Amino acid sequence: MVRMPSNRSRLQSILQQSGHAPSLADGRIPEEFIDWRVRVERETDSMRHERDMVCAIVKGKSYRPGLTFADAELAAIRQPVLHIHGTADETVGSAESSKRVADALPRGELHLVDGAGHMPWFDELDLVAAEVDRFLTG
């Protein structure tokens, strides 16, 4: 019988694979977040739906039409948009794909967080907070 990893160890593995291994190792990702995320995934529909969507994307090896924006749709977004991308995150897209999205937005701005993972605020909280503050206060 094959023993399946616990939800907790599976989540930690996902965080490591999405560029957060250093933050897990040094405690920047709090245990309370991991416990909360495991409970949310197990006990709410929203996280089960997110997991199902990610599984469909991974299984298909590409994004479905309608899941991402076409360049013309991005060009129609007139509001200022700040896109923050951790360079250690290759699970959702590369820095180059984030640049393509930001460049397609009329008022798009990209901020790369060197060495950060999928959720860059875990890795560089002060830097990300300062960037968001700068963006919002203009």
- pLDDT tens-digit profile, the chain (138 residues): 545 457 889 889 889 988 999 999 999 999 999 999 888 878 887 766 776 766 666 666 555 555 578 889 999 999 999 999 999 987 777 888 899 999 999 999 999 999 999 999 999 999 999 999 999 998
Residue at 44 is within a domain: yes
Residue at 1 is within a domain: no
Residue at 121 is within a domain: yes
As a whole number of angstroms, the distance between CA 127 and CA 27 comes to 17
Dihedral of alpha carbons 54, 58, 59, 65, sign: positive
Residue at 2 is within a domain: no
**20-23, Cβ contacts within 8 angstroms, sequence gap of 24 or more:** 20/88, 20/117, 20/118, 20/119, 20/122, 20/123, 21/117, 22/115, 22/123, 23/117, 23/122, 23/123
- CATH code, 70: 3.40.50.1820
- For residue 111, the Cα-to-chain-centroid distance in whole angstroms is 14
Residue at 58 is within a domain: yes
Residue at 127 is within a domain: yes
Per-residue burial over 47-61, b = 16 or more CB atoms within 10 Å of its CB, e = otherwise = eeeeeeeeeeeeeee
E strand map for 17-113: 81-86, 108-113
The number of domains in the chain is 1
Residue at 70 is within a domain: yes
First to last CA, the chain: 58
Domain carrying residue 41: 7-137
Residue at 103 is within a domain: yes
Q: Please name the residues in contact with 114: beta carbons below 8 A apart, sequence gap of 6 or more.
A: 87
